[in-house]
């Protein structure tokens, strides 16, 4: 990301992906894993594999950008990153939220829920950042070890979040 070092960019991506995964787990879902790919050229990419739908799905999707921005703020780096860059990295997530067909009120509820859950479980996001940057993949068990493992099965429409 423009304005950050390569390492900071990877950490921010890790925080973003772990935001998706941790909010999913807080909702009792079971993300299958998170990963990062650092191509020799160009920006690193990340992804989170999780199944969720409706308001929960929107909360999981919204959590990435919220977590990434929160990580930047905690490191005093948010001033170095433009609003346009932040919007760009979350574009795929926002498009998926739009496709869920929620009402504006439901969408707002989902974003509030994501922020609340991240606030409560932020230490889990932090705990996962360095391992994810180092190993470029955390599986379901690795994620569960960051905190409580999930609850009941949910009916789901599958999606894979991407940046
Ligand atoms: Zn995302």
DSSP label at residue 152: S
pLDDT of residue 74: 93
Determine the Cα–Cα distance for residues 34 and 30; give it in Å rounded to an integer: 11
- Asked if residues 11 and 105 have their Cβ atoms less than 8 Å apart, the reply is no
Asked whether residue 62 is assigned to any structural domain, the reply reads: yes
State the distance from the centre of ligand 1 to the C-alpha of 66, rounded, in angstroms.
Answer: 10
Question: pLDDT tens digits, residue range 33-80?
Answer: 999 987 777 777 889 999 999 999 999 999 999 999 999 999 999 888
pTM: predicted TM-score of the whole model, two decimal places? 0.85
State the distance from the centre of ligand 1 to the C-alpha of 18, rounded, in angstroms.
Answer: 9
Asked whether residue 56 is assigned to any structural domain, the reply reads: yes
Asked whether residue 1 is assigned to any structural domain, the reply reads: no
CATH of the domain at 65: 1.20.58
State the distance from the centre of ligand 1 to the C-alpha of 152, rounded, in angstroms.
Answer: 24
Asked whether residue 76 is assigned to any structural domain, the reply reads: yes
Asked whether residue 108 is assigned to any structural domain, the reply reads: yes
* Residue stretches of the chain with pLDDT short of 70: 1-2, 87-88, 147-163
- Where in the sequence is the domain holding 106, given as residue range(s)? 6-162
Asked whether residue 86 is assigned to any structural domain, the reply reads: yes
Q: Please state the domain count of the chain.
A: 1
- Asked if residues 12 and 66 have their Cβ atoms less than 8 Å apart, the reply is no
State the distance from the centre of ligand 1 to the C-alpha of 153, rounded, in angstroms.
Answer: 23
The strand ranges marked E within 4-157 are: 33-37, 45-51, 137-139
């Amino acid at each position: 990301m423009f304005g950050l070092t390569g390492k900071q960019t990877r950490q921010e991506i890790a925080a973003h992906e772990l935001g998706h995964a941790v909010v999913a787990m807080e909702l009792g879902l079971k993300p299958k894993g998170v990963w990062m790919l650092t191509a020799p050229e160009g920006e690193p990419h990340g992804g989170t594999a999780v199944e969720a739908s409706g308001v929960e799905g929107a909360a999981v999707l919204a959590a990435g950008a919220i977590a990434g921005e929160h990580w930047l703020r905690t490191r005093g780096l948010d001033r170095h990153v433009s609003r346009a860059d932040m919007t760009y990295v979350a574009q795929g997530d926002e498009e998926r939220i739009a496709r869920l067909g929620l009402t504006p009120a439901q969408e707002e509820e989902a974003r509030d829920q994501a922020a609340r859950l991240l606030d409560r479980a932020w230490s889990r996001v932090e705990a996962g950042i360095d391992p994810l940057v180092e190993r470029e993949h955390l599986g379901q068990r690795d994620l569960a070890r960051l905190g409580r493992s999930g609850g009941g099965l949910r009916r789901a429409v599958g999606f894979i979040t991407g940046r």
